[in-house]
Structure 1
Amino acid sequence: MRRLFLRSIALLGCLFATSVFAADGLIAVKSVHSVSATADKLESILNDKGMTVFARIDHAKGAEGVGLDLRPTQLVIFGNPNVGTPLMQCAQSVAIDLPQKALIWEDAEGQVWIGYNDPQYLKERHGIEGCDEVIEKSEGALGAFISGAAK
């Protein structure tokens, strides 16, 4: 029952987003906000849900610092050891992809996107076995966090 609930949350999050695409393990959702406002909203959601926000990196600001141009691009790094540790116990190599990251960027047409690693992709990439419940929980939570920040 809980598994069905979490999948439903992830599906609803995707349906309420204006557009979603997935490619090479990245799930991206259109945001109705600027890059900065989307990242602010995501951080607020993560903090409200008890997640740890480890860092926020402004790649455009970094590029500017060396005299280069880059459209607005920010990365939010976050996690929760209650989720990450069981995944690492199943396949320790997944630690290279944890903590989780959300990339928020503006494309060439001015559309803002927020993307994250698909937990199913991580499962396949690292050969994770015996952690289906944790993977499904991650899918539901990430979907809710990302769709919440995008709208």
Structure 2
Amino acid sequence: MTYPFISRLVTVAALAGALASQAFAADGMIELQSQNGFQATRDKLIDTLKAKGMKIFTVVDHASGARSAGLKLRPTTVVIFGNPKVGTQLMQCAQTAGIDLPMKALIWEDAKGVVRLGYNDPAWMAARHHVDDCKIVTKMSRALGNFARAATTASR
């Protein structure tokens, strides 16, 4: 074994670790760590969505559902939201995208007490539905990233 080989191996391992910590995942869900508590992240997301003209269809409190069944679950909430002016454009490119709409954001507290926010990557959704050239996908990606960052960035 030579030193250049070890050097390359260390470089590859470091790159893999860096990629794993980014705000994206190969499985199609973009995940960000929040600098806020669970409730603040949830509230900031909902406030941001409303301020940007998104309709909040419903908020699903999975932890509450678990309690009603006599089970325990750390804070876990899904916010279901959208804007027909946006979602319709994606469905005009591929109607099957309707299965992934309206958009959803998952906010949860992990086993270490870290609050996270995740959402489906519109580019992944487009690939899933075999959409090659749909201009709204880039706009959706940018908007969702902005919403997520607004919710997960510490309040000043």
TM-score computed with the length of structure 2 as normaliser: 0.82
Alignment partner of 1:40: what SS? helix
Report the aligned-residue RMSD.
1.3
Contact kept, 8 Å, 1:36 with 1:74, in 2: the verdict is no
Letter in 1 for 2:29: L
Cα offsets for 1:96-116 (capped at 9, x unmatched)? 000000000011111000000
2:41 to 34, 38, 48: 38
Offset from partner CA, 1:95-149 (integer Å, 9 cap, x none): 0000000000011111000000001100110111331x20000011000000000
Separation of aligned partners in 1, 2:95 and 2:23:
30
- Equivalent runs, 1:1-151 vs 2, <5 Å: 20-131=23-134, 133-151=135-153
C-alpha separation between the residues in 2 aligned to 1:100 and 1:111? 23
Cα offset, 1:35, TM superposition: 1.9
Quick one: distance in 2 between partners of 1:137 and 1:108? 34
Letter in 2 for 1:89: Q
Amino acid at match of 2:90: L
Q: Aligned AA for 1:128?
A: V
Q: Quote the Cα distance in structure 1 between the aligned partners of 2:25 and 2:109.
A: 17
Aligned residues between the structures: 133
Letter in 1 for 2:149: S
**Which amino acid is the alignment partner of residue 98 of structure 2?**
A
Q: List structure 1 runs of 4+ shifted beyond 3 angstroms.
A: none
Q: Is the 8 Å Cα contact of residues 25 and 121 (structure 1) preserved in structure 2? A: yes
1:10 equivalent in structure 2: none
Query: Matched residues in 1 for 2:113 and 2:24: separation?
Result: 17
Matched AA of 1:45: T
The alignment-based identity, stated in percent, is 53
Q: Report Cα offsets for 1:58-91 as digits up to 9, x if no partner.
A: 1001000110011100000000111100111111
Q: Bigger radius of gyration, 1 or 2?
A: 2
CA distance in structure 2 between the aligned counterparts of 1:98 and 1:30, rounded to whole angstroms: 24
Structure 1-normalised TM-score? 0.84
Report the Cα distance in structure 2 between the residues aligned to 1:128 and 1:32, rounded to whole angstroms.
34
Could you tell me which amino acid in structure 2 is paired with residue 149 of structure 1?
A
Structure 1 residue 34 displacement after superposition: 2.0
Residue 88 of structure 2 aligns with an amino acid whose one-letter code is T
